[in-house]
Amino acid sequence: MDAIRVEDLTKQFQDVTAVDHISFSVEEGELFGLLGPNGAGKTTTINMLSTLLKPTSGRAEVGGFDVARRRDDVRKSIGVVFQEPALDGKLTGRENLDFHGMMYGIKSEERRRRIDDVLTLVDLTDKAAVLVEKYSGGMKRRLEIARGLIQHPKVLFLDEPTLGLDAQTRRHIWDYVRKLNREKKVTIILTTHYMEEADYLCGRIAIMDHGKFVALDTPSRLKDVLGGDVVSLEIAGEEGAAAALEAALKALDWIKKFQRHDGVLSLTMEKGERRIPELINFAQDHGVTVDCVHLRKPSLEDVFLHFTGRTIREQEANVGERARGRMMGHGRR
């Protein structure tokens, strides 16, 4: 059964189309990723699905409820961890959770039980009585995840949950998210522009660019689009040796792409690790010595480059330039 169903969803802000006719579904218990640079439309999509923004057109259901017509029912069935912090630093961790539980009308005794449960889940039991203003960035994100779970949501939206955190803390957050999904069976939609985060966590990924989905599949299938692994052979001797080996290797139909540069022959193929011994033997049979072999698996960064023509870092730079241009334009008015 689908926890989320989206059909032709669109959001326009004056002359800007932030989300452009996207359609997809997320199954119950799935961990689904929205991957893309800043400004791609990820947060706008989450805001529509969590009823914070009204769609311009199209429709969406979350937990079986239409996001435009049954907003209260949607809100009762979801949890949201926003990109921007929304904690009260002058309250303790437990007090933040208690206030949130009261807002949802959870009775006192049940509220205490749920708070204990979620604090245990995110390893903050020993920090429950500490003021949030004294928490580290990672502790605050964990507390926000705990807060999003107080009402026992069917669907949890995590909008850039590790933004600005160091690598070690991000890894800890990933572990909590996976544990939550696997043990509690909560359906999760995660937005991120960290390629490795989406690859590690998500069963399926949609790549967004300029408000559209340019690809949607499992991480492994998205990488398979690129044609396989890249095996690079560093050839001893002059460039002619590499050229001669390249010419001979073109007789092998399991090598899909060739690239030669400065004595290094890069070959694209499936199951590259199994082909390496065969390649070395082939080279020796043709009188060519291989000094070194490198194996590189395709990454989601490669996939993003394939579908958009740019790396995600280049996309972010362009979004930043456009934003600065708009700000300068507003300043001139």
Segments making up each domain of the chain, as ranges: 2-222, 227-296, 300-332
Indicate the SS3 state at residue 129: coil
Least confident of 20-24, 261-265, 309-313: 309-313
The Cα 20–Cα 41 span in angstroms is: 9
Q: Which amino acid, residue 220? A: S
Specify the CATH superfamily of domain 2-222.
Answer: P-loop containing nucleotide triphosphate hydrolases (3.40.50.300)
Average pLDDT of the chain?
Answer: 90
- For 250-272, letters b (16+ CB in 10 Å) and e give eeeeebeeeebeebebebbbeeb
CA 85-87-89 angle, to 5 degrees, is: 115
Q: Does pLDDT of 26 surpass 60?
A: yes
Task: Using DSSP, state whether 35 is helix, strand or coil.
Answer: strand
pLDDT of residue 1: 82
- CA–CA separation, 191 and 43 (whole Å): 7
* Token pair belonging to 316: 């972010």
pLDDT of 333 reads 38
Angle at 252 between CA 250 and CA 255, to 5 degrees: 80
pLDDT band with cut points at 50, 70 and 90 for residue 308? confident
CATH topology of domain 227-296: Alpha-Beta Plaits (3.30.70)
Report the alpha-carbon distance of residue 180 to residue 155 in Å, rounded.
11
What is the pTM (predicted TM-score) of this model?
A: 0.78
pLDDT value for 93: 97
